[in-house]
Amino acid sequence: MFPDLAYVSQTACSNIINHSGTTKESTLAENNNFTIHALELGPMENFIYLLHDHSSDTAAIVDPAWDVEEMLALADEKGIRITDILLTHSHHDHVNGIETVLAHTDAQIHLLKTEARFWGKNLVKPKLHHGGDTIKIGATDIRVLHTPGHTPGSACYHAGSELIAGDTLFVFGCGRCDLQGGDPEEMFSTLKRIKSELPGDTILHPGHNYSPAHPTTSMDVQCEGNPFLHFDEQQDFIEYRMHVHDRIRSTPYEAVSKEEALKSIGR
């Protein structure tokens, strides 16, 4: 179980700005507490998020990497002060802009204690968390979910009806489990909990733009079309994640039915 997973409905407008400079904006909930801005940056289609609390005009930047100056400029343009850095995990493509952010701000770094131990980096006074903790940005509460599988201390950040998922869950995909620290058994358990415990109207904000036609979607849509959420048996998930998926699928990802997913592993 994710500890204390009750949530309060809030508004998050998700601004997806891609390399062409175009912007897609959608209003996703009921009131007006925070906004999530997203920039696609770097050679690996990373989404870098800025979660802006309206009451304080402060923000957390999530997984700062690559051309972080663009996000800093966006914050300056909107009069937002970055006070916190939230890390979903410690892979280089999600953390290589931390020093740039710290050179321009006095932001506090947040990550799970398990991930800090796995990473082994000598960070200056990071705030270490456990699953179920709450991080407060102004008036906005952000729930920290421990979602191991891609790395031992991978985290998702749950604010209102929005889930910033890092490399745990993509639109119609999920993170690899064959890198150092990856564990397909843990990933299977994590995705089962996400599927069963998060409301269907939760909006997924992934760590990479691997499905450009759908930069964000609801969990209801993912439960219908994400092949990694179709497997009820651990051994079937492991077979698909570790041996089948990368052989039969490539980006951009689109929906896969449960029948197709099971057929791909001979079920």
pLDDT tens for each residue of 122-146: 998 999 999 999 999 999 999 999 9
Give, for 206, the enclosing helix (H) or strand (E).
strand 203-206
Domain positions in the chain are: 13-264
Query: Rounded to whole angstroms, how far apart are CA atoms 99 and 96?
Result: 7
Tell me if 60 sits within 8 A of 137, measured CB to CB.
Answer: yes
Phi and psi for 13 in degrees, rounded to 5? -95, 125
Q: Are strands 108-112 and 81-86 parallel, antiparallel or unpaired?
A: parallel
CATH number assigned to the domain covering 13-264: 3.60.15.10
- The 10s digit of each residue's pLDDT in 27-48 is 333 347 999 999 999 999 999 9
Helix (H, G, I), strand (E, B) or coil at 114: helix
Nearest to 208 by CA among 165, 237, 246: 165
User: Which tens digit of pLDDT belongs to each residue from 73-102?
Assistant: 999 999 999 999 999 999 999 999 999 999
